[in-house]
Structure 1
Amino acid sequence: MRYFLRYRSVGEILASRELRAMGIKNPSKILAKLVSLGLIKRGIGCYTISKEVLDAFRRGEIEI
């Protein structure tokens, strides 16, 4: 989630490459799980942190 707080919207290919470089072995599976939990949204060729998560982070309701 730190990645998506830093880069609020990122392309699918770049997200997979960068997450793999960070040591995540199966970024596609992780991204799909984050989408299913509603933490990020999948657009056309990109992933974006959900507005609800971003707002909660800004209000200090969640820490990552």
Structure 2
Amino acid sequence: MRLLALELILSLLDVRGHIPRFDDFRPAPAGTARALAAAIAVFAVLSLAIWATVWLATRLF
């Protein structure tokens, strides 16, 4: 019954057609995955550096 209600809500919102099926996904090329991993790593390092700077500034002053 819950699944039927969910299907009804999704069809009323016209969202059902935009949900991809599993076989619609194609594997990403290795270069794309490597670039995404590098971007995530850079973002994490920059976030930690900013956090450490703010933490140190609050401890010193």
TM superposition score normalised by structure 1: 0.22
Larger fraction in helix: 2
Whose RCO is larger (CA < 8 A, sep 6+)?
A: 1
**Larger gyration radius, structure 1 or structure 2:** 2
TM superposition score normalised by structure 2: 0.23
Larger fraction in strand: 1
